[in-house]
Every structure is written in C-alpha cells, then in structure tokens.
Amino acid sequence: MQSWNEYQLANKDRFLDELLDLLRIPSVSADSKHKDDVKRCAEAVRDHLLKAGCDMAEICETAGHPIVYGQKIVDPSKPTVLVYGHYDVQPADPLNLWHSGPFEPVVKDGKIYARGACDDKGQMFMHIKALETMAKTGSMPCNVKVMIEGEEEVGSNNLGIFLENNKERLKADIVLVSDTSMISMEHPSIESGLRGLAYMEVEVNGPNRDLHSGVYGGAVANPATILCKMIASLHDENNHITIPGFYDTVQNLTEVERAAINSAPFSLDEYKADLGVSEVWGEKGYTTLERTGIRPTLEVNGIWGGYIGEGAKTVLPAKANAKISMRLVPNQSSDEIAAMFQAHFEKIAPGYVKVKVTAHHGGEAVVTPTDSPAYKAAAKAIVTTFGKEPIPTRGGGSIPIVALFEKTLGLKTVLLGFGLDNDNIHSPNEKYDVFNYYKGIETIPYFHKYFAESFEG
C-alpha cells in the first residue's frame, strides 16, 4: 500500500482540478436564482464523497438548500470524527471588481482565484481528499462522518433542525471544521473561539412620500440624516457601544489571557499597509487583536436611501435603511442583544420619524478548549506537517452552527482552518493558496491518526 504522502503526490493535479470544477458551480445560497446551482453543487459533493470511499453518501433535503451527509465506518469500536463544512458561497458582487470571473477559477502565482476558493469549498474539499487518501491507502485510523451544508452563509437555520432530528446518526467524539484562518504559513495557528452574531435591519420613515429638497428641505426631518445621527450615537467617544446592557454579560479576560492573545505575532504596520489605512480604529483600551478576537462590536454593513443613481437629483427621501450587525463574545445571548438593540433604537428615534427594526439570523459565540485531547491532536498534526507548534488565536468570524454542535449534540469542535486573513473571503478576488490547499490535505489525516491514538491506553 502507498503511504499517505505517496498517494497525495501521485494525485496532486487531479485534487486541484476537481476543486476547480467544484468552484465553477455558482452555489450562492442567498440568491434564489441559484437554487438549481446549489442543488447541483450538493450532488457533486455527494458524488465526491462516494468516489473518495464513503460507505454511503446522500443528499438530505431541507426546507431550504440540501445537506450532504456521508460516512465511512471502519470499526464501531473506534472513535468517530464528524467533519463539518459548507458548499454554499456568498454572492460574488460587485462583479466589476473581480480580475477574472468569480465562477471561472484561475490559478495565478500559486493562488486559486474564485468565489468559495477559501470559504469554504477549498477548505471543505481538503477533507474529502484527506478522506480519500486514508480510504484508498487502506489506513483509516478512525470512523469519519461528513456533513456539508448549503446554508452556512445564510444562517444555518435548517441545519439546526437537522441536528435535532439526527442525533443518533451524528453520534461522534469530536467535530472537525476547516472554515477559519491561520496567522500565516510561517506562523501556523489554531482558532480557539468564534464570535456570535446578531444581525439587524432598520428602517427610518419620515414624510409619506419623497419630497423636493428645495420646496420642503429644512422644514421636514430628513430620514437619511436622522438615520446617520442615530447610527453615529451607537458608539461613544471611546468607541464603546452605547446600547444599555450591551456589555453586562461580557466576560472580561484576565491579564494573563490578554497577554497570551497579544503575544501572537502581529505587525500593526503590515496590517495597516495591507488594508490601505493610515490609522486603525476601535474600542479604547484594547489592541487590534483583542478588538477582533475577544470584544463585541457593532458595524453598519449597508446603508441606503434617497437618490444613488447617476448625476444629481434633488430629493428629500421618505425613508432610509441600514443593515447593522453585532459580533458577540461568550455569555452574550444573540436573542437578548437583538432585543436590546431594538428597544434602544426605538427609544432614541426622535419624534420626527418612525422606525422599524427587524432581526435577521444570529448565532452564539464559542470558545474551544486548548487543553483537550482533540486540540492536542490538531496541534500535533500541525507540528508534523509544519514543523512548528501552532499558536492558539481567537478568531473574529462566526460559524453559528458550532454552538449548536455543543448544545444539541454535546460535541466540542476543533477549528483546523488553513485560510489566511487576506484571502478576500466575501470580497472580490477571493483566493486560496494552492500551498495551503495541499498543506491542509496533508495535515488532516494526521489529525485523525493522533485523535484516534488519544483513545488508546
């Protein structure tokens, strides 16, 4: 039998070609126009699981986009790893900022450019290729269950129901996810936490119709101006969030924990240069790594109203809207924060306008232990293939289902991500380094091996 390394070397080009094919399917979960593409992508993932050597793999229909489930059980007495990932992607717009088509992947300078290259098709597919490697070389160290969903980018509501209804089938010892990032290939790291999310939409209504801004302007409150003032008031001069009660349940970290977070390699100058900003911004008293890792935030994701077409139109808009999200940390409840936001936003609305606040999807924050056998197996796998001990970090993004793995299935998660912060996920020109793709495929089987070994003697 071939070794894992030999097998991967011999099949390396095919591994890449297959990923490129998957990236050609525009599986945009948020856009109903792509419903059939999403389904086609689910079928492709199922076929790949079967070809990789799963005993079974099937499409599980939901009220929304399908979930793909497959498994390979080698010995019921051995431990089981449940792999989770998502095959859906974010919308590709603005299209004009892409250097090549978002669904026409190109490999340039060692990078794969396409929507989903990193988030999460590229990272999810590493697990299918790792599984193939273990299966085809006859060396599966443990049982593997694979669950790949099509609604992560729209909140995973149907996957939550699927967990409730499939507790027996999903029985496992750990969940393994590659949907996060590392500091760099020189500084491999493992995220030991994800933030939660509360996502709101607001509408500020003024007069009963759009008005001529000369005839009425200055005499009637402009909803766009009022909305801007209301949004501006949500942070104080220290960039603290002003919603009453917002920080009440936030756990303050000890100085030792904060020092650990700040000891990760990080260059503020490189960070600023990469983003093209001359100064960073954020909550007073916290570093950039703390602001993105352990502190809650509030951001405007979109704001619109009035005339935004070509040229000028003199108009006082009847309404203005915004989408506002809050990233949450452990112990903050997404529902409670959404309710606090709503109450506060309604309270600060001046009498000139009426506001409407609605909540979109949310999710809870998680911290994953760094002293567990599963984390240690991941760290050892990284040492094996990178030759370096990984640094634990706290990531800023959210994967809402991870909190439910614990709540519904009683399972902890290991976040073995291989992305980089500058992979442009959710942005034009999303990319994933070919090196990272292969490194992930190389590393994952070692996780299974070391995790299985942690159950022996």
Q: 97-136: which residues touch ligand BES (CB under 6 A)? A: 119-120
The entry of Mn ion, ligand BES, none near residue 197 (CB within 5 to 8 angstroms by kind) is ligand BES
Shortest Cβ 364–Mn ion spacing (Å): 17
**Of the candidate residues 176, 377, 399, 444, the single one contacting ligand BES (CB under 6 A):** 399
Catalytic residue among 37, 152, 179, 423, which?
152
**How far apart (Å, rounded) are the C-alpha atoms in residues 447 and 453?**
10
Decide: is 149 part of the binding site for ligand BES (CB under 6 A): no
Shortest Cβ 79–ligand BES spacing (Å): 26
Radius of gyration for the alpha carbons in the chain, expressed in angstroms and rounded: 23
**Of the candidate residues 18, 153, 364, 430, the single one contacting ligand BES (CB under 6 A):** 153
Which of 455, 404, 457, 444 lies closest to 140 in space, CA to CA?
Answer: 444
Residue by residue, DSSP assigns 131-145 as HHHHHHTT---SEEE
Report the Cα 421 to chain-centroid distance in Å.
Answer: 12
**Of the candidate residues 235, 361, 376, 412, the single one contacting ligand BES (CB under 6 A):** 361
Catalytic residue among 18, 37, 88, 149, which?
88
**Of the candidate residues 196, 400, 440, 445, the single one contacting ligand BES (CB under 6 A):** 400
Q: Exposed, middle or buried, 313 (CB in 10 Å: 0-12/13-18/19+)?
A: exposed
Q: 238-257: which residues touch ligand BES (CB under 6 A)? A: none
- Give the C-alpha distances (Å, rounded to integers) separating 365 from 23, 237, 250, 317: 29, 27, 11, 38
Decide: is 318 part of the binding site for ligand BES (CB under 6 A): no
- Give the C-alpha distances (Å, rounded to integers) separating 134 from 145, 193, 199, 416, 435: 13, 28, 40, 18, 20
**Of the candidate residues 37, 119, 151, 364, the single one contacting Mn ion (CB under 5 A):** 119
**How far apart (Å, rounded) are the C-alpha atoms in residues 403 and 424?**
25
Q: 418-437: which residues touch ligand BES (CB under 6 A)? A: 425
Question: DSSP H helical segments within 200-355, as ranges?
Answer: 223-232, 255-262, 268-275, 288-293, 334-348
Catalytic-residue membership of 88:
yes
Shortest Cβ 305–Mn ion spacing (Å): 27
Which of 78, 45, 37, 20 lies closest to 146 in space, CA to CA?
Answer: 45
Decide: is 398 part of the binding site for ligand BES (CB under 6 A): yes
Task: Return residues touching ligand BES (CB under 6 A).
Answer: 119-120, 152-153, 155, 179-181, 197, 361, 363, 395, 397-400, 425
Indicate which residues carry an active-site annotation.
Answer: 88, 152
Task: Return residues touching Mn ion (CB under 5 A).
Answer: 119-120, 179
